[in-house]
């Protein structure tokens, strides 16, 4: 409670992070040759970046030991998305995790009880004392878990906007700076990209729908915003690993999408973790591959009531609509439906004609459809004029941007 009200200075934040990190197992990956770099996102709607990014960056020679979480509330989680692939296991043992890193340079798993147990207890305490919303406590909580992975570098995607955990830009900036400072002072080079989460990322929201969209990107297609953010985060991972120029990193990653190396790595990961690789069949078999993933029973198209341009798609409302359809968890113990979700056929800036479909809902029950439709209709706002493009990547914070504080200042 004292930290909540008074904040902590950088040294205090780093100390708390170190103590929580060493309260459990800190992975030692030194027997695996190569630089180990991970990415963490503070969470958003339609954020399936990890599914594309981890194999793509691994295909460029970086070791990616990714430990991810599950979705809660309006935001989705990487583990839930991966588990929509039939047979895919996210509960690898430490030995299996390391074997996978050695063989294919990549593994995507869930957090075990042994990683930062003190954070789990403190978080539960913060939850019941209304002290979750503290920047130094959030920074130390996130960083203690990431730094326990035994990584050499970390790229953070700090989301800002309606669908983000941190809605205001200034708060997102503070959180990003605090995490970069903490990681750097604990010996792991950390970079943060502050990115827009006012509208969902890409067009798919919901687990198996997002897996299909991620595969589309690895095949050279997919929505522009999703490709842009993935390439940018990946180029920073390559810079941390090999000191590569950002432009050069972008080129390597785009080439590995074109030549199929990223997709090949994704398939290798699915195979290593027990999943059905038929999900990744070539483009001429799109229908088959969709049939392999869980598919929903009811599909409803939403049509526009007027002509205009899409001015806004409130990400939080879309996230809640997707949760109502069964794609997300209202409580930690809710059971999710991997097939449920939403396809946004129109995104911000697109024109729409009266009666033209702008979104498709997938779910199991009509009552869920009604509620989700209502939320989605509220989420979309039309205007007569085309809105100006806003940048997707707002700010990049590196260790050079952190001005050392005097020691008494509070973050
Ligand atoms: N995510 C975490 O892991 N911890 C926080 O404190 C907030 C978000």
Does 138 contact ligand 1 (Cβ within 6 A)?
yes
Q: Quick one: pLDDT band at residue 409, thresholds 50, 70, 90?
A: low
Q: What percent of the chain has pLDDT over 70?
A: 95
Q: Which atom in ligand 1 lies closest to the alpha carbon of residue 138? A: 6
* Alpha-carbon gap, residue 96 to 107, rounded angstroms: 9
* Alpha-carbon gap, residue 151 to 289, rounded angstroms: 34
* Alpha-carbon gap, residue 60 to 273, rounded angstroms: 20
pLDDT tens digits, residue range 275-286?
Answer: 999 888 754 444
Strand-strand pairing, 393-397 and 189-196: antiparallel
Q: What is the mean pLDDT of residues 179-192?
A: 97
Closest CA to 276 of 286, 287, 266, 262: 266
* Alpha-carbon gap, residue 23 to 16, rounded angstroms: 11
**Across-strand partners of 24?**
none
Main-chain phi, psi angles of 110, to 5 degrees: -95, 165
Question: What is each CA distance from 104 to 38, 99, 244, in whole angstroms?
Answer: 15, 8, 22
- Residue nearest ligand 1's atom 1 by CA: 142
Residue whose pair of structure tokens reads 């990014």 in the numeric block:
53
**pTM of the model as a whole:** 0.94
**Residue 22 C-alpha to ligand 1 middle, in angstroms?**
17
**109: DSSP letter:** E
Q: Residue 86: how many CA atoms within 13 Å on its side-chain side?
A: 12
Using alpha carbons only, how large is the chain's radius of gyration in Å?
Answer: 21
Q: What is the mean pLDDT of residues 138-166?
A: 96
Residues classed as catalytic: 40, 119, 126, 141, 145
**Residue 141 C-alpha to ligand 1 middle, in angstroms?**
5
pLDDT tens digits, residue range 225-280?
Answer: 999 999 999 999 999 999 999 999 999 999 999 999 999 999 999 999 999 998 88
State the pLDDT at residue 195: 98
pLDDT tens digits, residue range 106-147?
Answer: 999 998 889 999 999 999 999 999 999 999 999 999 999 999
Closest CA to 38 of 24, 46, 26, 50: 50
């Amino acid at each position: 409670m004292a930290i909540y009200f008074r904040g902590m200075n950088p040294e205090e934040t780093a100390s708390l992070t170190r103590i929580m990190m060493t309260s459990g197992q800190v992975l030692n990956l030194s027997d695996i040759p190569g630089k180990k770099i991970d990415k963490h996102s503070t969470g958003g709607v339609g954020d399936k970046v990890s599914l594309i990014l981890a194999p793509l960056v691994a295909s460029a020679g970086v070791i990616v030991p990714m430990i991810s979480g599950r979705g809660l509330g309006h935001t989705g989680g990487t583990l839930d998305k991966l588990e929509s692939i039939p047979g895919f296991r996210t509960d690898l043992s430490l030995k299996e995790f390391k074997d996978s890193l050695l063989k294919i340079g990549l593994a995507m798993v869930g957090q075990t009880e042994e990683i930062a147990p003190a954070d789990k207890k403190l978080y539960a305490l913060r939850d019941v004392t209304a002290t979750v919303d503290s920047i130094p406590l959030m920074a130390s909580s996130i960083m203690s878990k990431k730094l326990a992975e035994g990584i050499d570098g970390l790229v953070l995607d700090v989301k800002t906007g309606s669908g983000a955990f941190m809605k205001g830009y200034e708060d997102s900036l503070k959180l990003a700076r605090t995490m970069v400072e903490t990681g750097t002072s604990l010996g792991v080079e950390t970079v943060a990209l502050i990115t827009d989460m006012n509208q969902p990322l890409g067009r798919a929201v919901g687990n198996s729908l997002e897996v299909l969209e991620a595969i589309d990107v690895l095949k050279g297609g997919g929505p522009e915003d999703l490709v842009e953010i993935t390439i940018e985060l990946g180029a920073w991972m390559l810079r941390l690993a090999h000191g590569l120029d950002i432009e050069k990193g972008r080129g390597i990653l785009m080439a590995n999408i074109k030549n199929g190396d990223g997709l090949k790595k994704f398939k290798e990961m699915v195979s290593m973790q027990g999943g059905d690789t038929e999900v990744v069949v070539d483009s001429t078999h799109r229908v088959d591959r969709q049939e392999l993933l869980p598919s929903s029973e009811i599909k409803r198209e939403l049509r526009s009531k007027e002509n205009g341009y899409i001015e806004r798609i409130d990400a939080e409302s879309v996230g809640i609509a997707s949760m109502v359809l069964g794609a997300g968890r209202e409580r930690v113990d809710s059971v999710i439906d991997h097939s449920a979700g939403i396809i946004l056929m129109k995104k911000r800036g697109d024109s729409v004609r009266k009666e033209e479909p702008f979104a498709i809902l997938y779910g199991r029950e009509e009552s869920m459809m009604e509620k989700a439709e209502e939320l989605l209709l509220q989420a979309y706002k039309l205007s007569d004029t085309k809105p100006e493009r806003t940048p997707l990547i707002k700010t990049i914070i590196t260790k050079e941007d952190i001005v050392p504080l005097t020691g008494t200042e509070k973050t």
